[in-house]
Homo-oligomer: A and B are copies of this chain.
Amino acid sequence: MSTASSIAATPEPPYVAVIFTSKRTLEDRGYDAVSDRMVELGSTYPGFLGIESARGADGLGITVSYWKDLESVKAWKMNQEHQRAQAAGKATWYDSYSVRIATVERAYGQP
């Protein structure tokens, strides 16, 4: 998942951030392969700008994906393989999760 293990090189705002926070169960079956596949597949979608992902030893994970606009987010959300992965996540891999959709208005840093 190398595309998700560094800071995303996003363009000037505004753009959309999807903040996905999750608490994992102890059930590991198939998780890593599906997670990697979702990064790979999602990043081929039009409007995809980048992704950042981290999970700590305590099981809390945060993945932020960046998109050109809300239409791009909706199109990716409707992908059938993605929807199957989401269903498996809810049923098996995540104790709890939160999705927040936000408009990035300002960004700065030290690349």
Contact = CB atoms under 8 A, between A and B. Distances in A.
A32 to B, nearest CB: 13
A111 interface: yes
Interface string A70-111: 000000000000000000001000101111111111111111
**Tally of this chain's copies:** 2
Contact of A5 (B17, B56, B102): B56
Interface in A15-41: 17, 19, 21-23
B54 A62 contact: yes
A71 B99 CA distance: 24
Interface of A: 5-8, 10, 13, 17, 19, 21-23, 52-56, 58, 60-62, 64, 90, 94, 96-111
